Every structure is written in C-alpha cells, then in structure tokens.
Structure 1
Amino acid sequence: MKIRVTKTFQYEGKEYEEGQKVDLPDSVGRSVLEKGFGKKIEEETPTIESIEEPEEERKKPPEWKRKIWISEDRNLSVSIWPPGGKFNSPSVTLEENRRDDSGNWESDRIYLPTGSALLALSAHLQSAWEEIQEIKTGEKN
C-alpha cells in the first residue's frame, strides 16, 4: 500500500519521516492509516502533464520550432528539442495551445516518434490534406 507519511513513525527499526512516500505491506499500511500516521496515495495513471522534467531540462529552448495559428484562440506548434534528460537523441513535440472560456491559455503536448514513423506520419498528414482538397472541389463523391 502506498502511503504519504503525515507523522514520523518507526517500523521494523526504520524511521519514516513526515512527507515521505512509502510502499508498505497492506496490513502495516492499514495500521498506519488507522493510527493517523499517514494518508493513502491513490494510484495515478501517468499522463504527459504529470511527467516532470528536471529544472535544467525545462530551461533549454527547442532547437527548431514552427507555429501555425488556427485562430486567434488556438495554435499548434512542432518543436525539435536537443538530446538530454531522459532522451539520448533529439525529440519532437506537437503542442496545442488554446484559450479557454475564461481567456486563459491551456496547452497539451505530445511526443512524436523520431524515426521512420515520423516520416510516415507526415505522409499521412499530406494525404489527408490532399483528400480534403478533393472533397472541397467536389471531385470526390
């Protein structure tokens, strides 16, 4: 059971301090919760937003970036980031920025493949554009 320690305690000769996140056997975890020495940590599904990059990695600017404005309240950008941190080769991101109903900007970022799959993705995007053009001109039924 995953617990966040709220009051320092000892278990099997080891001291657990306030603020620590620990994984304890279920029976011990229940006892810690009952005695008020900790709070259960709910399992989270990791998302892109919850993955923290080291401070020094966040400060590096992208090596290449292109932004496309969809409207005054929405844009997309593609960036190439230098190797570093958890990536030992350059990485590519696609980021959507949009203004919410309150006027605040929100963004979502996804990491794209960097090998031949990136080339295949670009070919599919071009094919989609060509398909849309055919539909618009009425050539497609």
Structure 2
Amino acid sequence: MLAGHLALIVAALFTGAAVYINVAEQPARLLLDDHALLREWKPSYKRGLAMQAPLAVAGFVLGVIAWWQSNEWSWLAGAVLLLANWPYTLLGVMPTNNRLMATDPNAADLDIRGLVVKWGGLHAVRSALGALATVAFLWAASV
C-alpha cells in the first residue's frame, strides 16, 4: 500500500516540523528582545507555512487514496486530522498571525511578545493534530 506508507511519511514530516517549532524554535525565539523576536518570527512563519500547508494537503490526499484502496477507516481518520490543520489555522490561528504580520518590528512591545506566546500555544494544536494523524496512519498500516 504505497499511498498509505507515503501518507504516514508525510504526516510524520508535518508533525516533526510542527513539534520542532514548539520545542526548539519558539523557546529560542522567546529569548530575544521584543523587536528581534518579531523580526525572527515573520520569515520563520512564512517558511513554515510554505512547507506545512502542502504537507497537510498531500497527506490528506494520500490518506484518502489509502482509505479508498483498503476501506480501512483509520486512513480516512488520519487524512481528516491532517487536513483539519487548514480550517484550524484559517479560523483559529490567522487572526493572531495577521496582527503579528501587520506590526512593524520596530514597534514591537510586550503586547507583541504576548501575541507570539499565544501563537506558540495555538501552534501546539497543529503539532497535536499532526501527531494524531501520524498515529492514525500507523494504526492503519498495522492492521
């Protein structure tokens, strides 16, 4: 089942990137002063978006193909969990992203630091969705 194995790989890549952001990048970023923190967050966010958005879609498509080929519900569950990052990001995370992106780094202050901290918590949900999708795909691959 090539599609299923590829879905698992894609979900693991998505999850690894998301967890890296939460456990390495975000804590390091928070050690910076307010101005540097926002200067670092902006390009980092753009790179993460460019990598993770296509991974979520590719994992969803591959998971649906694996479900269609096998009729194993856990492939579909993993696919839906991975794709859930899109509406969650658009509805839950984007208001914070938009405020951070609209702020001039020279105007960053404690309020902006608070938004970056909030963003880290919101991003942790993306890590959890990716991890749950990976577990669902592992489950599907083992039955």
Shorter-normalised TM-score: what interval? under 0.3
Bigger proportion of residues as helix: 2
Bigger proportion of residues as strand: 1
Q: What TM-score, normalized by structure 1, do the two folds share? A: 0.25
**Larger relative contact order (Cα-Cα within 8 Å, sequence gap ≥ 6):** 2
Q: What TM-score, normalized by structure 2, do the two folds share? A: 0.25
